Amino acid sequence: MKFRPCIDLHSGQVKQIVGSTLTDGTEKNDLATNFETDRPASSYAEMYQRDQLTGGHVIMLGPGNTEAAKSALQAYPQGLQVGGGIKTENAKEWLDAGASHVIVTSFVFHNGQIDMERLKSLVEVTGKDRLVLDLSCRRRPDDPTGPYYVVTDRWQTYTDVKVDEDTLKNLSEYCDEFLVHGVENEGKRCGILEDLVVLLGDHSPISVTYAGGVKDVSDLDRVKELGKGKVDLTIGSALDCFGGNIPYDDVIAWHKKENQ
């Protein structure tokens, strides 16, 4: 099991946002922002390279992030994945800019369904081994104990795609990894969605990274246990380098012990 680092970008700045508050029409003052900094994205990328972390992701939340994202990729070539507005037409540009993989959600999960033609066209450009599918998900408000559904468009639009054994198996034929944000807990530091981690550990046939709700270092051990060592973990807002209370150095020490 690995710790996977992240760099979330909004309007060109590194930020940590409560994902469920981000919509197309959201004004800056309406965002629930846990953290923002003028420290450049490239500085975080250099830190991750120094600590020999791989498979982290740069996520562009909306427009105005291209320059910052490319600076991070240039600082750590082939060490980071990139997502946010990726489609067939620009995927090669991002791979050429230094991304190890491109991360895709809304382009493939289109009009509430999986658009297989789009997915296949994307794979033709990237190859299976350089594509990550983002299966970030939430339960429907009218069924709070029901299945998780993939959500798109900054996590506001529900698709009819359940995150379950069949979906994980079928989509694993087209990509190298899955990235799964537990949207309801994302950015809230309220604890992980344990049932979702169990589902991913039991049923994902390929590498998968979970993000959402980590509150302290013990959650690393919890994800390792529930995910049977097969689910990697991203931590954002809870890290001290993003204004949280978990020492980044403690997470690095945990990661190195697990991956000696």
Q: Do 192 and 185 form a contact (C-beta atoms < 8 A)?
A: yes
- % of the chain beyond a pLDDT of 70: 95
The pLDDT value given to residue 154: 75
3-258 maps to which CATH number? Answer: 3.20.20.70
Contacts of 127 (CB under 8 A, 6+ apart): none
The pLDDT value given to residue 20: 52
pTM of this prediction?
A: 0.94
What CA–CA distance (Å, rounded) separates 75 from 55?
A: 15
| Reported confidence tier of residue 219, pLDDT bands at 50, 70, 90 | very high
Contacts of 191 (CB under 8 A, 6+ apart): 185, 213, 214, 215, 219
The pLDDT value given to residue 135: 97
Does residue 168 have a pLDDT over 90? yes
The pLDDT value given to residue 127: 98
Does residue 26 have a pLDDT over 70? no
The pLDDT value given to residue 25: 47
Summarize the confidence of residues 158-181 as an average pLDDT: 97
Summarize the confidence of residues 90-99 as an average pLDDT: 98
The pLDDT value given to residue 81: 98
> Who wins on pLDDT, 45 or 35?
45
| Reported confidence tier of residue 188, pLDDT bands at 50, 70, 90 | confident
Summarize the confidence of residues 15-30 as an average pLDDT: 58
Q: CA 73 from chain center: how many Å? A: 16
The pLDDT value given to residue 234: 97
Contacts of 209 (CB under 8 A, 6+ apart): 4, 55, 57, 177, 178, 179, 180, 231, 232, 233, 234
The pLDDT value given to residue 18: 67
Spell out the domain ranges in the chain: 3-258
The pLDDT value given to residue 16: 87
Structure tokens at 139: 């339960």
- % of the chain beyond a pLDDT of 90: 86
The pLDDT value given to residue 29: 46
> Who wins on pLDDT, 191 or 154?
191
What CA–CA distance (Å, rounded) separates 41 from 260?
A: 28
- Within 10 angstroms of residue 86's Cβ, the number of other Cβ atoms is 28
Summarize the confidence of residues 122-145 as an average pLDDT: 96
